[in-house]
Every structure is written in C-alpha cells, then in structure tokens.
Amino acid sequence: MIVSPTFELESSLAAPVAGIDEAGRGPWAGPVVAAAVILDRDNIPPGLRDSKTLTEKRREMIAKDIYACAIVGVGVASVDEIDEINILQATFLAMARAEVSLSIQPKTCIVDGSQKPQLKAPTQMIVKGDAKSLSIAAASIIAKTTRDQMMRDLALEHPHYAWEKNKGYGAPAHREGLEAFGVTPHHRKSFAPIHNMLCADS
C-alpha cells in the first residue's frame, strides 16, 4: 500500500517551508542533484508523492505541475566535487545550492534523511520524508526528473553506457560499456568499481 504524504508537518512550522531532497547518491556516473520546493498549500498538484512510487512518465507530468504552482530551486554537485569531497558532502553542497537558488528565503527547511546539511534556514531532518511530507515529495520529483534529463543528455555524448536507461547506476549495460570503452570524465573515480578499474588499467 502506497502511503500518501501530507502537508501536516509544514503546517506546524514557520513558513515559508522548503522541502529538500536529492537524487543520484548511488550511481557510478553523473552529478548529484538536489531540489528545494516551497509549495502553495492552496494549490498542490494532484498525485504528488514520493518519486520512487511513480512511473517516469508520471514524474515528468507532475514535475511540470510543480514548476507551474510552486517555488523551485535546484542545486548540482559535479563528479569532480563528488570525487574531491565525497558523495555525502557533495550531496550537502547540492542541497545548500538548491536552497539559495530559491527566489525567496525559506524560514524552515525540511530535509529527507537523517544526516543534516548546513543550510541557511533552521533545518529539520525527516526520515522517509518523501513519503510523509508533500514538500519533500515534490523536491524528490524535481531532483529525480532533473537528474534523469541530465543523464539522457550525457548519453547522447557517450552512447555506450546506456545512461538514458540506467541513469549511471551499475546496471549490466553500464558495466559492459565500461569494459569495452573504459572510464569517461563523467564517471565517479572515487567510487570503488571505477577506482578499481582505473587501478587495474594503470
């Protein structure tokens, strides 16, 4: 059974409240992307819920609805930044960039997860927040759809890894591409599978 998120948490906090979530912590290639969303409680897109419970087509449709009626900020941390400061710190960096890219400064940020980023506004961590909070669910959809499009664009430049399908995760087609064509500048060299491949080739 799919649990529908609500606006209950946001209603108890100092407004405006920004929900923040990320996409792309686990893949072997591509950036990590975070989104911050401030919803209008009187104009919430129908069908809004955790991005992982939606089809790709449905996510894209709801993302357009979110942009039409909410305040949205997006932050990205590059592969180079992931390799330099590690994926957790790069995720925090993307979240901070998403917050400051909002057109208004939130009074409160609610963030999916248990590890707290350094943000400008007072911040609450919400475990499984994308299933509990409509604002975090909206952020999860924006982060996911934004990153998916970035990976589709990168797949046009590097067609041998099937990034348009696997989005940079270690799927069989991605592994086969690495074995046949090697590591690209978009691979995370600090991640063990890529690091081990580079060490084996050196």
Q: Which residues does the annotation place in the binding site for a divalent metal cation? A: 21-22, 112
Where do the H-state alpha helices sit in 16-171? 56-69, 79-85, 87-100, 134-157, 163-166
State phi, psi for 22 to the nearest 5 degrees: -130, 165
d(CA 195, CA 86): 13
Binding site: which residues?
Answer: 21-22, 112
How many beta carbons lie within 10 A of that of residue 61, not counting itself?
Answer: 15
Which tokens hold the place of 128? 């499984």
d(CA 176, CA 140): 30
